[in-house]
Structure 1
Amino acid sequence: MPDWVEHTIWWQVFPLGFVGAEPELVDGAPVLHRLEHLQAWLDYALELGATGLALGPVFAASTHGYDTIDPFRVDPRLGDEADLISLIEAAQARGLRVLLDGVFNHVGRDHPAFLEVLRQGSHAARASWFKLSWPRGSDPGAEPDYACFEGHLQLVTLNHDEPAVADYVVSVMTHWLALGVDGWRLDAAYAVPRHFWCNVLARVRSVHPDAYIVGEVIHGDYAAIVRDTGMNTVTQYELWKATWSALNDRNLFELAHALDRHNGFLATFAPLTFVGNHDVTRIASRLTDERHLPHALAILLVCGGTPSIYAGDEQAFRGLKEDRIGGDDAIRPIFPETPAGLAPYGWPVYRLHQSLIALRRRHSWLHHARTRTLHLTNEQLVLAVSDGSRHLLLALNLAEDAVLLPVPDARSVEAGEAVVVKAEMQDAVVSLEPHNWVVLSV
């Protein structure tokens, strides 16, 4: 893991939605220089406390960005290469690292290599890039059956056993790293053979050893995937699910179990943690009791890992992910031209993020800290958070009544509101109001 990652808190943006890009790329349409819109928000991200900008798809694509047609070209709906370089330089001038989103499991149907296949048939020079099955006796121009991503015919799966595909991915990754980005998110990394990533990432790191590589992995053996691929980390969907599910069901045993598993991951790598991203229902909509939004944020920003904040969550944006065409639109909205255009009701949540991020940055050791359960019921949880020599306590109360919870050796409140009784003593307790939370120094 590059040293700088320990201090990184990502602010994740989905650019096509953020700038209000058209749903589809039209051939011959003029370049629209919209990345300046995002650049106007960099100071807002900095004031939030973020230290990195994680960008969703920015490369030429047919529709939503994950049907890439040219990863060497910026999507004309966003701008051109000069616009992206300007955004990267402006971010880094503010101390913000930049992460790009790489789609290397599949390409869009309009990718030139696949169009060659459709025009020239099995003799196309790049036919071996794909997993194709040709009807017997077919002529050039006939469409083959082909592997696609999770049933989406617009997303044509690459043949990851083809050496030219590995060369292609290496060339894309190193091209943009050489132009100044700090790392890559690998979309649908779980769908790509591990040996492919092992080969590709070793070659990328031989040129860019400090690049940060995070794989999108939803379920599976996280630690084995990191070990076998050479990725720095993967997305921590287990903890994401346990966080909102435990809060909604008032079953903190589920969260405690997930945190125990999280400790195991932290033994070998620091997962990318989140309570929201561009693929899931907004956390403010997911929670059935809005009073528990601070609890979710406290879990994210006090527990180990590399936190990521999805743009808009820090303003309590609402949005429901739906399983239909256009079902991502609500969670990928257009943003105002500047932060001054935001509604007033979101700013208290922004300030809460600032407070917890400030705590996180005061205690950068939390990046690799483990948790230990000190007290657990369905509605109350006290966690000891430690790296072995430094310590904090996190206490949660989901109940309708105030409670006294054991917080051994607690000294004072670091974040949240509560009263500590018998501070700095083994039998110290904290008085926690209904639906409240607190972080305590030890």
Structure 2
Amino acid sequence: MVRWAEHAIFWHVYPLGFTGAPRAAAESPGQHRLRRLADWLDYAVELGCSGLLLGPVFASETHGYDTVDHFRIDPRLGDEQDFDRLVAAAGERGLRVVLDGVFNHVSARFAQGRDWFRRRPDGAYDVFEGHHHLVALDHAKPAVAEYVTRVLNHWLDRGVSGWRLDAAYAVPPEFWQRVLPAVRERHPDAWLVGEVLHGDYTAYVERSGLDSVTQYELWKAIWSSLNDGNFFELAWALKRHVALLDVFVPQTFVGNHDVTRLASRLTDERHFAHALVLLTTLAGVPSIYYGDEQAFRGLKEEREGGDDAIRPAFPREPGELAPFGWPTYRLHQRLIGMRRRHPWLVRAHTSVEHLTNRAVALRSLAAEGEVLTLLNIGDEPYRFPLDVTGFSVIATASPGDRPGSTVPGHGWLVLAKYA
């Protein structure tokens, strides 16, 4: 894993939605909306983030995942100069920029033409998951691998620090083995993470040569265990999560551009903080999806335009955000700050020290120390049968809490002891 990524906490932004770009590229040519995003970089820094994980920025027909040209910035967002200014402004603030690269499928109007499209046995073009406007690339063609290598290097040359590879689960992992050597040789510090939903994460990393993949199993276990009052599901997922660390550090999240907002997903809003506590105390490279830090709501629906609610526009400046979201922003600041003061949590191995349906104690251990996370989603105070001698409080729902093993109903407590 590249060294800088071990300290990264990303603010994940979907630029077309964030900047209020119209649905179709033809509706708004020659705009400079990326400049609006540049105006929010201080907000991301104050949140505590050290990286900017961008959704698609390349020329496309509609939502950005139907790419037309990977070498051109989408005209709805601006031009290459706008992009360069954004990367430079991020760099001035210590923010690493990671781009979203869609290399499994492209628009039917892809600039390189149809010679690179994959065909089915009947001769028709193969498409991505039934979406006829998303045509699959033929990853067996050397020209496709050469093209993707050039794209990755081109934008790394322009100052980005890594790539999120969209729909990597649909791309043969061996494809990346043909692409990555030339990228690693030129940019050894580039961080490359693949979108993988399920299956054998470790095998995909080992066979592809990627640095990481998205940890959807943990995402699901977090919100589902909170909703169902079943921390046994979380405990099971954590066994699998910890096992990944022997090979790679996964990319972790409780929200992103493809899923229902956490504030809408949870059946009890009092447990929003519990989810964030887990994100910031468990191993992984975490990301915060823009708007989640303001408790935005949004339901993903399986229909045309079904992503609109989870990819909304932000106002021109932070002062225009609704006042009710700022307590959640400050909660994020506190927990992200706690994570940054304990960066070794990125690789810490977590064990379940005590477990019931509605109460769990997790111990995250590394050479530098240990963190004890106590979560209670029951109505009554819960006394954990644990010895917390030598621990100090590093994050709490109630300022002024002292080290102890009793957590109030729907409360949480994070303790630490150092080597």
Post-superposition CA distance 1:293-318 (Å, at most 9, x none): 00000000000000000000000000
Find the counterpart in structure 1 of residue 21 from structure 2. 21
Distance 2:407 2:341 in 1: 24
Shift of 1:260: 1.1
Note if 1:295 corresponds to 2:274.
yes
Say if 1:392 and 1:439, in contact at 8 Å, map to a contact too.
yes
Q: Which amino acid aligns with 1:189?
A: A
Say if 1:404 and 1:430, in contact at 8 Å, map to a contact too.
yes
Given candidates 156, 164, 172, the residue that maps to 1:177 is 156
Say if 1:403 and 1:433, in contact at 8 Å, map to a contact too.
yes
Distance 1:89 1:82 in 2: 10
Find the counterpart in structure 1 of residue 349 from structure 2. 370
Note if 1:111 corresponds to 2:86.
no
Distance 2:331 2:35 in 1: 28
Instruction: State the secondary structure of the residue aligned to 2:312.
Output: coil
Find the counterpart in structure 2 of residue 246 from structure 1. 225
Distance 1:93 1:363 in 2: 24
Q: Which amino acid aligns with 2:85?
A: S
Find the counterpart in structure 2 of residue 11 from structure 1. 11
Note if 1:160 corresponds to 2:135.
no
Find the counterpart in structure 2 of residue 97 from structure 1. 96
Say if 1:371 and 1:386, in contact at 8 Å, map to a contact too.
yes
Find the counterpart in structure 1 of residue 82 from structure 2. 83
Instruction: State the secondary structure of the residue aligned to 2:202.
Output: helix
Find the counterpart in structure 2 of residue 124 from structure 1. none
Aligned length: 415
Distance 1:237 1:269 in 2: 15
Find the counterpart in structure 1 of residue 394 from structure 2. 414
Find the counterpart in structure 1 of residue 118 from structure 2. 131
Note if 1:386 corresponds to 2:365.
yes
Q: TM-score, with normalisation over the residues of structure 2? A: 0.97
Q: Which amino acid aligns with 1:255?
A: L
Distance 1:408 1:349 in 2: 31
Instruction: State the secondary structure of the residue aligned to 2:361.
Output: strand
Post-superposition CA distance 1:127-150 (Å, at most 9, x none): 2x1223698xxxxxxxx6110001
Question: Of the two, which has the highest radius of gyration?
Answer: 1
Matches within 5 A, 1:26-425: 26=26, 30-114=29-113, 117=114, 127=115, 129-132=116-119, 145-410=124-389, 411-417=391-397
Shift of 1:266: 1.2
Shift of 1:194: 1.0
Shift of 1:406: 2.8
Distance 2:316 2:62 in 1: 23
Q: Which amino acid aligns with 1:188?
A: A
Instruction: State the secondary structure of the residue aligned to 1:406.
Output: coil
Give the alignment's Cα RMSD to 1 decimal: 1.5
Say if 2:344 and 2:368, in contact at 8 Å, map to a contact too.
no
Shift of 1:112: 2.5
Say if 2:388 and 2:405, in contact at 8 Å, map to a contact too.
no
Shift of 1:206: 1.3
Distance 1:389 1:83 in 2: 42
Say if 1:420 and 1:431, in contact at 8 Å, map to a contact too.
no
Find the counterpart in structure 2 of residue 441 from structure 1. 416
Q: Which amino acid aligns with 2:416?
A: S
Distance 1:22 1:51 in 2: 29
Shift of 1:389: 4.2
Shift of 1:408: 2.2
Shift of 1:324: 0.2
Shift of 1:417: 4.1
Instruction: State the secondary structure of the residue aligned to 2:112.
Output: helix
Post-superposition CA distance 1:263-299 (Å, at most 9, x none): 0011211100000000000000000000000000000
Structure 1: unaligned runs, 5 residues or longer: 118-126, 136-143, 424-428
Distance 1:213 1:220 in 2: 19
Distance 1:86 1:389 in 2: 39
Shift of 1:340: 0.7
Distance 2:121 2:329 in 1: 55
Distance 2:32 2:397 in 1: 45
Say if 2:387 and 2:405, in contact at 8 Å, map to a contact too.
no
Post-superposition CA distance 1:99-156 (Å, at most 9, x none): 0000000110111333xx4xxxxxxxxx2x1223698xxxxxxxx6110001101111
Q: Which amino acid aligns with 1:130?
A: F
Distance 1:265 1:49 in 2: 26
Q: Which amino acid aligns with 2:210?
A: M
Shift of 1:387: 1.1
Q: Which amino acid aligns with 2:300?
A: K
Find the counterpart in structure 2 of residue 120 from structure 1. none
Distance 1:379 1:82, change over 3 A: same
Q: TM-score, with normalisation over the residues of structure 1? A: 0.92
